[in-house]
Chain A
Amino acid sequence: MTTTTLPTASEAAPAATPSGAGKDAAAIRLSAAGLIRSEWIKLRSVRSTVWSYALLVAFSLGLAAIMSGSLDLQGADVSMVPAANQAIFVAQASTFGVFFGQLIVAVLGVLTISGEYSTGMIRSTLAAVPNRLPALWAKAAVLFVATFLVGLVSTVGSYLVSSAVLSGKGLHASLFDPAVLFPVLGGALYLGLIAVFALGIGTIVRSGAGGIAVVLGIVLLVPIVLQMIPAAWATSLLPYLVSNAGINMFGLMSFSQVPIEWWVDLLVVLGWLAAGLAGAAVLLKRRDA
């Protein structure tokens, strides 16, 4: 480290020392790894992140418990239920929280960037990373990984909760049954992706309230509005909405008459994400900070 002696706040006469660059000065430069680390520090050091993730896990586990606990078999013989159907029910209980979780992580995604705009932090960020886009990519990567992992904790946790409750009622399914594992992974993946989509929107809008309104509008409102339009085109658009594709992807609900492959849904979600991030990148690069 360079050890130039500068006058400290309490010290009087400054000792003039050469502004010597230390031995490891060459190692001090912008790097992708550094930007990732920086964004990770930023993400974990604000309360909104901690709150959002805690809520996500709590909601998921709670909803899994409610959904599996409220299943009333009315004395039916569960041994007659095919294993495939048992697995589907366990999967539904395990991923039910994703419905609500997507709203929480969407808000978090917007706040991750709008918080920088509202506080002026963005100027510090962009002064350190004057090419700007690497900072956006790092932010997106960190947000995706963190949200995916917390999402996984909540879906796997929800599986543990619901399978514990349901096994008491005679319903069994292994986590590694593809009918369970795919939704559990897919739900977490979708949470990570929708958070990054929201980050893109937040970067475009630059305001917390505005960004949240736009994202929740796209996630919640547009599907409802389209469903209310009694026209064929509206119905045929439904599977291509980001939230519908995301939910279809982990097999909780279908919005299309013909079954859609999970990878098509994934592409649809990625398409929305790419559009959001592309808009964010263009504007971030072009606008004055």
Chain B
Amino acid sequence: MIQAQSLTKRYGSKTAVDAVDFTVQPGKVTGLLGPNGAGKSTTMRMIVGLDQPSAGSVTVNGKPYREHAAPLREVGVLLDAKAVHTGRSARNHLLAMAATHGIPAGRVDEVIELTGLASVARKRVGGFSLGMGQRLGIAAALLGDPAVLILDEPVNGLDPEGVQWVRRLMRHLAAEGRTVLLSSHLMSEMALTADHLIMLGRGRVIADAPVADIIGGAGSNTVRVRSPQATRLATLLAQPDVTVTAGEQDTLEVTGISAVEIGEQAAGAGIVLHELTGIGASLEDAYMALTQNEVEYRTGGSAELQEAAR
């Protein structure tokens, strides 16, 4: 279990993580989701003590990470695949990590086998592909057979087979009763892997709920209507709490009013409808809706560009 209380990280005048509170429960996969710069990595780094919080605190299994006698048994962490000396072989890297805690060499070979690195274990890490580096990082995270796993973008650079493997592994580890926290900006990945989501935007928690709730809560009332008289229909539907967006070729996307009502109103006015579809929201929609105002590096936008240029 991971518990954060008013966890804050400031870099100069910039607040990367802004007084976030959350609890990551054991037995399920929790996804930390957010756009670039939302504070996902910083949050993860603070959990394992690599960054010192500016304010607030975070505990792992009831204690600050550094107070555990065997940190690697508590938390296995993959922060980025490049946290390895490039001049050392994968096996020597794992042996050195294992030695700190007196983890036997047998366990090193076990995680090498588990992550499919056996054929390259004695090669220098500098020559590894991104995917192999990612596997090595996961191997290192599993070394101590930890109760908590923290993985920052674990599927980054993996091939489809590797992605599936990580997904199964995460689900399996959670099923064993472990706490699994992974970050991603890939919504589809999160929808498939995570049970629970913590969404960050500009350093704040903007949603903390089961995946199903987040998907269900967003865009459930969007209806797509296609009509040759789209313009008339749009005028007809115009009400204060109804949003009508014109799409391509006589298509309207309507929110704030149900498909039934649209159909009835159109019939009343004698408007022909070619399509009337309730759009099932995806996690992507939910994510876009929730993070609309939270994206730090939006494309375009002269203010942001000017700021970036400074």
Q: List A residues at the B interface (Cβ < 8 Å).
A: 1-2, 4, 6-10, 12, 14, 16-19, 21, 24-25, 27-31, 33-35, 37-39, 41-42, 45-48, 115-116, 119-124, 126-131, 135, 286, 288-289
Whether a CB of chain A sits under 8 angstroms from the CB of B100 is yes
In the complex, which residues of chain B have a beta carbon less than 8 angstroms from the beta carbon of A42? 85, 88, 92, 96
User: Size class of B's contact patch?
Assistant: 35 or more
Contact at B80–A120, with CB atoms within 8 Å?
A: yes
A22 to chain B minimum Cβ distance, whole angstroms, is 8
Contact at B106–A1, with CB atoms within 8 Å?
A: yes
Q: Which of B50, B95, B104 contacts A1 (CB 8 A)?
A: B104
Supplied contacts A4-B176, A9-B116, 16 more A-B pairs, CB within 8 Å: A1-B106, A7-B172, A8-B116, A9-B165, A21-B145, A28-B70, A28-B103, A29-B69, A35-B99, A42-B92, A45-B92, A46-B88, A115-B87, A120-B84, A128-B97, A289-B50
In the complex, which residues of chain A have a beta carbon less than 8 angstroms from the beta carbon of B123? none
A25 to chain B minimum Cβ distance, whole angstroms, is 7
Contact at B66–A16, with CB atoms within 8 Å?
A: no
A202 to chain B minimum Cβ distance, whole angstroms, is 14
Contact at A288–B165, with CB atoms within 8 Å?
A: no
Q: List B residues at the A interface (Cβ < 8 Å).
A: 45, 48-52, 65-66, 68-73, 75, 77, 79-80, 82-89, 92-93, 95-97, 99-104, 106-107, 110, 113-116, 135, 140, 142, 144-145, 147, 162, 165, 168-169, 171-173, 175-178
Bound together, the chains give a CA A238 to CA B136 distance in angstroms of 50
* Tally of A-B Cβ pairs under 8 angstroms: 160
Q: Which of B77, B100, B165 has the most CB of A within 10 A?
A: B100
Known pairs A127-B77, A128-B101; A38 contacts B96 (CB<8 A) = yes
Contact at B165–A7, with CB atoms within 8 Å?
A: yes
In the complex, which residues of chain B have a beta carbon less than 8 angstroms from the beta carbon of A18? 176-177
Cβ-closest chain A residue relative to B150: A127
In the complex, which residues of chain A have a beta carbon less than 8 angstroms from the beta carbon of B140? 124
Bound together, the chains give a CA A131 to CA B77 distance in angstroms of 16
B153 to chain A minimum Cβ distance, whole angstroms, is 14
Cβ-closest chain A residue relative to B144: A28
Contact at B73–A28, with CB atoms within 8 Å?
A: yes
In the complex, which residues of chain A have a beta carbon less than 8 angstroms from the beta carbon of B110? 1
Cβ-closest chain A residue relative to B140: A124
Bound together, the chains give a CA A34 to CA B142 distance in angstroms of 18
Cβ-closest chain B residue relative to A47: B87
Bound together, the chains give a CA A27 to CA B77 distance in angstroms of 21
Contact at B71–A30, with CB atoms within 8 Å?
A: yes
Bound together, the chains give a CA A9 to CA B159 distance in angstroms of 12
Bound together, the chains give a CA A121 to CA B210 distance in angstroms of 35
Contact at A124–B84, with CB atoms within 8 Å?
A: yes
Bound together, the chains give a CA A4 to CA B173 distance in angstroms of 10
In the complex, which residues of chain B have a beta carbon less than 8 angstroms from the beta carbon of A124? 83-84, 93, 97, 140
Cβ-closest chain A residue relative to B51: A288
B149 to chain A minimum Cβ distance, whole angstroms, is 11
Bound together, the chains give a CA A211 to CA B115 distance in angstroms of 37
Contact at A45–B101, with CB atoms within 8 Å?
A: no
Task: Report 18 cross-chain contacts, Cβ distance below 8 Å, ordered by A residue.
Answer: A6-B172, A9-B115, A12-B168, A14-B171, A18-B177, A21-B145, A25-B145, A37-B99, A42-B85, A42-B92, A119-B82, A119-B85, A119-B86, A123-B50, A124-B93, A127-B77, A286-B52, A289-B51
